[in-house]
């Protein structure tokens, strides 16, 4: 009989609503902001009331911090590739990205930007250490809250690039460009030349 | 006269309590339930033929089907002949051969499904690693452009990702159900919705009723291990062939080996992005972003949309592959378990039958002996 006492006590204390509150108090990680698109969920319920509405990517993501009023001292960088997250949520001083309009330096408090990348050198500066990657292409988003997302298709650290192969590739593609007949071949050869000359520049510069 | 005796015997076995149908418990997850019985069917027909011509078959196993039509009679014969230790002319004895055959086939099925589970588990390990690495790929896009599944556009394209192979539980049916509901959701006056189907299973289910709304089907995506280049070529193909205002990708997100969450990812075309950012709302602060590179904002947005599609599609294909393997693991696991239970029940029946036949023989002998002496 006394074994049931705690349960009866809880029930007597707060009734239905409180009981649920007590149950809730132990659940950690309850999201504060709504992570579902309510309009979508409502429309779904009208069409398919018996099916649970599918989730959307927003519910799987951690919410981003809002824009701070003063400029933060560090920049948070996320550098992702299709097969790996190279850098995730690392606080650094500066990042230099190879945008199509040229090398662009990003400091904390940079204005919000969407930059398209061309093949080139990406360098991450954290204090005195600099990590350099050669990226093939992609996009860089710089948000107002000093978070930089760099999405690239392919990236290698520069110390893993073989200079002799770069020279050979450059020579090959230059030759293909001069002997190309159709537009497609010309475009492919041009891309090859661009990438290899950028590789060359990255190795030397 | 021999024929009538055979027919009489056969009818007794036909009335035996074990029907040649697999029980429904194992039906949904067992490997084509008819395989074991089809093989026996051919065996039965060929045995019957030889029996009719009066020869004793030397090897029962590898015979071709002669396609005779005297099926019922032949079926009856097989039970008789398979009753092991008998001569051809009707000594009565309860046969355990039927139960023994069923036990053998159920045990084989159990072995096969266990092997399939192991194979799926080992493949899952490899794909899961790559999926988790690719999870960071779509997050920057959602952070920039937000998530707008309830956007109202004229041309919707629903990209459903399903598997090519079966025996993976209910994930493909779930995806198809959700696609159909989404189709209803996004249809209306002046709106059109089309399907692009990846995977054989989705195609088969959709072709039945929505044949006219299917724009493209793509199969054998998983033949070689998925990599980004292949998916980006696929994405390019899709984008070239369909006009879209919004693309919705439906897939099963891999949460854990036993839980798969159906998910919809929405990708808007550059024109719709412009429209939404001008009208405010979720994309409202897109205007505050400066555009670097490219000649015009429209060009950059176009590249962005295409890149977003290929990245999200890559992640979706990997997640769906993981979910498929996980679902196959649990389906094969429950199938092996059901086969094991069935085997237990059959063993009990077998022992009962065996003991009953021994008892009957003993009774006959003893009663015969007592008739002689008494």
Rounded Cα gap, residues B157 and B194, in angstroms: 5
Q: What is the pLDDT of residue B340?
A: 97
Q: Which two tokens stand for residue A172?
A: 């090959």
Q: Which of B46-55, B148-157, B165-174 has the highest mean pLDDT?
A: B165-174
Residues A108, A73 contacting (CB under 8 angstroms): yes
Contact between B263 and A55 using a beta-carbon 8 Å cutoff: yes
Number of structural domains (chain B) is: 1
Q: Please determine, for residue B185, whether its predicted confidence score (pLDDT) is greater than 80.
A: yes
Q: Please, which residues bridge with residue B218 across strands?
A: B198
What mean pLDDT is predicted for residues A47-72? 84
Q: What is the pLDDT of residue B320?
A: 94
**Whole-number percent of chain A with pLDDT over 70:** 82
Q: What is the pLDDT of residue B89?
A: 44
**Whole-number percent of chain B with pLDDT over 90:** 45
In this complex, the residue of A56, A151, A153 whose CB is nearest that of residue B149 is: A56
A187 φ/ψ angles, rounded to the nearest 5 degrees:
-65, -45
Look at B250 and B46; give whichever has higher pLDDT. Answer: B250
Number of other residues whose CB lies within 10 A of the CB of residue A160: 8
Q: Is residue B152 part of a domain?
A: yes
A171 touching chain B per CB within 8 A: no
Q: Please determine, for residue A157, whether its predicted confidence score (pLDDT) is greater than 80.
A: yes
What mean pLDDT is predicted for residues A157-177? 88
Q: Please determine, for residue B374, whether its predicted confidence score (pLDDT) is greater than 60.
A: yes
Note the pLDDT tens digit of each residue in B25-79.
Answer: 334 444 444 444 444 444 434 444 444 444 444 444 344 444 444 444 444 444 4
- Together in a domain, A130 and A200: no
User: With DSSP H G I counted as helix, E B as strand and the rest as coil, what are the percentages for chain B, rounded to 5?
Assistant: 60, 10, 25
E-state strands within A52-192: 75-81, 84-92, 94-99, 102-106, 113-117, 120-126, 129-135, 138-142, 147-152, 155-157
Q: Contacts of residue B302 in chain A, CB cutoff 8 Å?
A: none
In this complex, the residue of B133, B142, B232 whose CB is nearest that of residue A57 is: B142
What mean pLDDT is predicted for residues B187-215? 90
In this complex, the residue of A80, A112, A115 whose CB is nearest that of residue B288 is: A112
How sure is the predictor about B4, in pLDDT bands with cuts at 50, 70 and 90?
Answer: low
Note the pLDDT tens digit of each residue in B111-144.
Answer: 999 999 999 999 999 999 999 998 888 888 888 8
Rounded Cα gap, residues A135 and A138, in angstroms: 8
What distance in Å separates residue A84's CA from the closest CA in chain B? 5
B347 φ/ψ angles, rounded to the nearest 5 degrees:
-60, -40
Q: Is residue B63 part of a domain?
A: no
Q: Please determine, for residue A171, whether its predicted confidence score (pLDDT) is greater than 60.
A: yes
Over chain A, what is the mean pLDDT? 81
Q: Is residue A69 part of a domain?
A: no
CA B268, A38, B255, A155 torsion-angle sign: positive
Q: Please determine, for residue A27, whether its predicted confidence score (pLDDT) is greater than 60.
A: no
- Together in a domain, A154 and A170: no
- Together in a domain, A139 and A187: no
- The residue assigned the tokens 């824009």 is A67
Task: Of A90-94, B26-30, B272-276, give the lowest mean pLDDT range.
Answer: B26-30
Question: Whose CA is closest to B301, among B342, B323, B268, B325?
Answer: B268
What mean pLDDT is predicted for residues A155-167? 87
- Together in a domain, A139 and A168: no
Number of other residues whose CB lies within 10 A of the CB of residue B158: 26
Q: Is residue B221 part of a domain?
A: yes
Q: What is the pLDDT of residue B76?
A: 42
Residues B292, B104 contacting (CB under 8 angstroms): no
Q: What is the pLDDT of residue A194?
A: 87
Q: What is the pLDDT of residue B82?
A: 43
- Together in a domain, A45 and A102: no
Q: Is residue B215 part of a domain?
A: yes
Over chain B, what is the mean pLDDT? 78
Q: Is residue B94 part of a domain?
A: no
How sure is the predictor about B147, in pLDDT bands with cuts at 50, 70 and 90?
Answer: confident
Q: Please determine, for residue B83, whether its predicted confidence score (pLDDT) is greater than 90.
A: no
What mean pLDDT is predicted for residues B261-285? 82
Q: Is residue B174 part of a domain?
A: yes
Q: Is residue A22 part of a domain?
A: yes
Look at B150 and B161; give whichever has higher pLDDT. Answer: B161
Q: Is residue A92 part of a domain?
A: yes
Query: What ipTM was reported for this prediction?
Result: 0.79
Q: What is the pLDDT of residue A58?
A: 83
pTM over cut 0.80: no
What distance in Å separates residue A170's CA from the closest CA in chain B? 22
- The residue assigned the tokens 């205007």 is B287
B50 φ/ψ angles, rounded to the nearest 5 degrees:
-65, -35
Rounded Cα gap, residues A34 and B289, in angstroms: 25
In this complex, the residue of B144, B148, B185 whose CB is nearest that of residue A47 is: B185
Q: Is residue A37 part of a domain?
A: yes
Q: Which two tokens stand for residue B169?
A: 């539980």
Number of structural domains (chain A) is: 3
Q: Is residue A192 part of a domain?
A: yes
Residues B155, B191 contacting (CB under 8 angstroms): yes
**For the domain that residue A97 is a member of, what is the CATH number?**
2.60.15.10
Measured CA distances, A103 to A10, A100, A202, B295 (Å): 64, 8, 12, 17
Q: Which domain holds residue A166?
A: 161-204
Rounded Cα gap, residues B80 and B84, in angstroms: 9
What distance in Å separates residue B257's CA from the closest CA in chain A? 17
Measured CA distances, B345 to B104, B106, B332, B349 (Å): 13, 11, 20, 6
**For the domain that residue B306 is a member of, what is the CATH number?**
3.40.1380.10
Q: Is residue B116 part of a domain?
A: no
How sure is the predictor about B87, in pLDDT bands with cuts at 50, 70 and 90?
Answer: very low
Q: Is residue A139 part of a domain?
A: yes
Q: Contacts of residue B250 in chain A, CB cutoff 8 Å?
A: 54
How sure is the predictor about A41, in pLDDT bands with cuts at 50, 70 and 90?
Answer: confident
Task: Of A33-47, B225-239, B254-268, give the lowest mean pLDDT range.
Answer: A33-47
Q: Which domain holds residue B188?
A: 145-279+297-327
Q: Is residue B318 part of a domain?
A: yes
A149 touching chain B per CB within 8 A: yes
Q: What is the pLDDT of residue A63?
A: 80
């Amino acid at each position: 009989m006394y074994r049931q006492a705690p349960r009866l006590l809880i029930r007597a204390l707060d009734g239905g609503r409180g009981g649920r509150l007590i149950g809730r108090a132990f659940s950690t990680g309850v999201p504060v902001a709504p992570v579902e698109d309510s309009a979508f969920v409502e429309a779904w319920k009208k069409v398919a009331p018996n099916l649970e509405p599918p989730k959307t990517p927003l519910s799987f993501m951690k919410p981003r911090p809002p824009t701070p009023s003063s400029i933060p001292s560090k920049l948070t960088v996320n550098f992702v590739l299709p097969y790996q997250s190279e850098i995730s949520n690392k606080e650094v001083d500066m990042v230099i990205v190879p945008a199509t309009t040229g090398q662009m330096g990003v400091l904390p408090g940079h204005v919000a930007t969407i930059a398209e990348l061309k093949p080139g050198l990406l360098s991450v500066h954290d204090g005195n250490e600099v990590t350099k990657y050669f990226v093939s292409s992609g996009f860089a988003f710089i948000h107002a809250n000093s978070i930089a997302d760099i999405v690239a298709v392919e990236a290698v650290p520069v110390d893993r690039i073989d200079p002799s192969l770069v020279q050979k590739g450059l020579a090959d593609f230059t030759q293909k460009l001069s002997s190309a007949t159709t537009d497609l071949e010309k475009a492919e050869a041009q891309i090859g030349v661009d990438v290899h000359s950028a590789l060359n520049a990255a190795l030397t510069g | 006269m021999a024929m009538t005796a055979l027919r009489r015997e056969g009818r007794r076995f036909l009335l035996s309590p074990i029907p040649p149908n697999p029980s429904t418990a194992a039906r949904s997850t067992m490997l084509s339930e008819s395989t074991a019985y089809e093989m026996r069917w051919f065996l039965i027909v060929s045995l019957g033929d030889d029996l009719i011509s009066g020869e004793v078959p030397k090897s029962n196993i590898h015979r071709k089907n002669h396609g005779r039509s005297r099926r019922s009679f032949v079926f009856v014969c097989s039970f008789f002949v398979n009753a092991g230790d008998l001569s051809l002319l009707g000594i009565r004895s309860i046969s355990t051969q039927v139960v023994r055959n069923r036990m053998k086939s159920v045990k084989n099925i159990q072995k096969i499904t266990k092997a399939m589970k192991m194979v799926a588990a080992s493949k899952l390990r490899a794909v899961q690693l790559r999926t988790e690495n690719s999870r960071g790929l779509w997050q920057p896009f959602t952070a920039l452009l937000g998530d707008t599944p309830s956007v109202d556009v004229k041309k919707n394209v629903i990209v459903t990702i399903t598997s090519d192979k079966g025996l993976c539980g209910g994930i493909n049916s779930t995806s198809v159900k959700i696609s159909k509901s989404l189709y209803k959701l996004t249809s209306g006056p002046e709106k059109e919705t089309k399907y692009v189907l990846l995977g054989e299973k989705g195609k088969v289910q959709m072709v039945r009723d929505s044949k006219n709304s299917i724009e493209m089907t793509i199969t054998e995506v998983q033949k070689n291990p998925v990599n980004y280049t292949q998916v980006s070529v696929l994405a390019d193909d899709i984008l070239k062939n369909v006009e879209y205002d919004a693309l919705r990708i439906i897939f099963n997100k891999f949460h854990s080996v036993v839980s798969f969450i159906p998910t919809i990812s929405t990708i808007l075309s550059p024109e719709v992005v412009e429209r939404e950012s001008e009208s405010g709302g979720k994309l409202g602060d897109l205007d505050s972003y400066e555009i670097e590179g490219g000649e015009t904002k429209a060009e950059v947005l176009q590249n962005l949309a295409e890149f977003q599609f290929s990245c999200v599609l890559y992640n979706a294909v990997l997640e769906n592959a993981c979910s498929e393997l996980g679902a196959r693991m649990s389906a094969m696991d429950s199938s092996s378990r059901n086969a094991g239970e069935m085997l237990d029940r059959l063993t009990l029946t077998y022992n009962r039958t065996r003991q009953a036949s021994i008892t009957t023989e003993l009774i006959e002998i003893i009663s015969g002996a007592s008739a002689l002496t008494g």
